[in-house]
Amino acid sequence: MKFNLKVVLCAFLIAVFSIMTIRPVQAAESNSFQVISYTDETTGQTEYSNASIEPATYEGKRGIAVLFEGSDDLHFYANPKTAPGGYFLKIAAESKDLIFGEARFPESSIFHDKALDIEVEVFVGDFTVFIPLDQPFQLGYVNLSDVKAIVSGIACTSQICLTPFEKTIAAKVNTYQSFDWPQIELAKQQPGKTAESKVAGYSLWFALGLAFVAGLSLNIMPCVWPVLPIIIMRIVEQAAENKARSIYLGLLFCAGILLFFAALAGANIVLQLFYGTVLQWGDQMRNPVFLSAMAILLVAVALFMFGVFNIGLPSSVTGGVSGGKGVGGAVGMGFLAAILSTPCSFGILAAAFAWAQAQTLVLGTLAIIFIGIGMASPYAVLTSVPGLLKKLPRAGRWMELFKQTVGFILLVIAIKLIVALPDVRISGVLYFSVVLGFGLWMWGSWVGFGTPAVKKWFIRSIAVVLIVAGGWIFLSSPKTELIKWGKYDSAVIAAAREEKRPLLIKFTADWCFSCQVIDKTIFSRKDIASLIEGKQILVIKADTTESDFPATLALKNIYKEPGVPVTILYMPDGREIRWRGITFGKELKEHLEGIE
């Protein structure tokens, strides 16, 4: 009897210990998962929303509760009819062991959108969403089930609507304790203390006016200045000859500006409807290809301002006979002016785009078009009232000096854009800019008005080939390094030599052109990279870019070398092979193949 009593007692203690130590819910990494976060760069204020999963019981049904905890100035939309782009808050649960039904949301808060003068339903701050189990499970059966809650939608602050998101929250649910899952209530939540958006507080017409002013401000951007003298002077010349034609060409130039912003609006619609994201002013500047193209374009325009080459204008702009080429030239010049405005746009333009993204597609598109109307309006006025042009200062030396000054400003902006590029692209864009400058110099300065046509086209063909070849060499997508180099560490090197492990050290520097040639011609070869990986060779990159770097001191004091490039291979038998040139690829491969 005593034996049985001990067995029962031990079983009871084990069961109690198991119940006490097994938690109802255990998140995969942490109990709280960040759904979304946004920091306002101007105020430094961070708005956020975190979520966690807990097992719960609601109205007699078991399931999981997704608990949201967030700041008062971040809200999710509850109604697809009023949500920007139709992105309302959606939550679904998935599990291999459990079957869940549709999510049950609390009663939403009413948010008054003053811009549209409508009331919209939102979830803000702290609230709970319940997802019931659609199929009962056997009570008392110990089972830790992996559960995922997929949360998607769009969140807005008082300043901006963020990019639509989809996040997954993972957790483990212990169904053994389902009898003890807490009861919850989906109470109506209270609006946050900043429920009414500061931007939404503007009237519709005020917001569209802001978009108009934003577009108007683009005309004072330094990036647009290069085309302004050309356009204004051509309008002056046309006004002196034919008023109707001046108006016609001026309106075509305005149409080119509007075409650019219509393209932006179209891209915004496509992104929202098909890719689940929004177009914000500045997105284009995050694209390295666009950023590189803009920097190169600004360098080319700066060279034009310096008089390195001239741009041949369509006959319709220079006063010739009308034609299709003239229409295309006027529209194209307006389109170019709008493109050139993008790197120099101020915060007011970003604010206008932010308001546009918080609206429906129709209103957002209208706001973007109003930006274009704002930019085009001065040219429409100058074209329609040519008498205003008579008040402009007459052309003279001051205009040439102003033109060259703008060229230097454009170079500063181009450098700013280049510095913003990823490190692997900066050197390529800089090298190509030099090649482009030389090619444009050939195009404009190596030929003159009296140069024979054959010679002129021969020289300019060489210039074009040179520019195209430079683009292919320097602007091609950077290749991924095939060899994973370790940083220079004297202790690591000493240990490798002590263990008689094969070791390869390349002494290099960022300013060393020969070192870059070695990287492209030798260490970018797949056969050499494969041998290094297959032979398990320790590879070290010894950076000597600056004088106080450890590798620089070692190169001088330990290896007794006067400069880079130097490549050293230590064989397992203790032999040391050094190369100081740039054509040792064949020898390196032979030595690598000889390593057992």
- CATH 3.40.30.10 occupies which residues in the chain? 486-593
Average pLDDT of the residues of the chain? 77
Structural tokens at position 571: 């064989």
Q: Is residue 152 a contact partner of residue 167, using CB atoms and an 8 Å limit?
A: yes
Sheet of 75-77, strand order: 109-113, 118-124, 75-77, 155-156
Give the whole-angstrom CA distance, residue 125 versus residue 72.
5
Give the whole-angstrom CA distance, residue 521 versus residue 585.
8
Alpha helices in 420-549 (DSSP H): 423-445, 453-474, 490-498, 513-521, 526-534
Phi, psi of 170 (to 5 degrees): -110, 145
Give the whole-angstrom CA distance, residue 209 versus residue 555.
65
Q: How far apart are the first and last CA of the chain?
A: 72
pLDDT of residue 506: 95
pLDDT of residue 173: 81
Residue 59: pLDDT over 70: yes
- CATH 2.60.40.1250 occupies which residues in the chain? 23-180
* Superfamily of segment(s) 486-593: Glutaredoxin (3.40.30.10)
Give the whole-angstrom CA distance, residue 443 versus residue 459.
7
Average pLDDT over every residue of 187-203? 43
For the ranges 36-50, 134-148, 187-201, 530-544, the lowest mean pLDDT is seen at 187-201
- Give per-residue pLDDT as tens, 304-335: 888 898 765 444 433 343 333 467 777 877 88
Q: CB neighbours of 313 closer than 8 A, spacing ≥ 6?
A: 230, 234, 329
Using pLDDT thresholds of 50, 70 and 90, give the confidence band for residue 229. low
Which residue type does 111 have? F
Query: Which DSSP letter does residue 133 get?
Result: B
Phi, psi of 104 (to 5 degrees): -115, 120
Structural tokens at position 363: 């209103």
Q: What is the CATH number of domain 23-180?
A: 2.60.40.1250
Average pLDDT over every residue of 500-526? 89
Q: pTM higher than 0.75, yes or no? A: no
Q: What is the dihedral of CA 475, 481, 485, 487, to 10 degrees?
A: 40
Closest CA to 283 of 353, 236, 217, 336: 353
Residue 223 — left, alpha, or beta (φ > 0 → left; ψ -120 to 50 → alpha)?
alpha
CA distances (Å), 522 to each of 13, 506, 518, 528, 529, in order? 69, 12, 5, 7, 9
- Give per-residue pLDDT as tens, 242-299: 667 777 777 888 888 899 888 888 877 776 666 655 565 555 666 788 888 888 988 9
Length of the chain measured in residues: 596
Using pLDDT thresholds of 50, 70 and 90, give the confidence band for residue 118. low
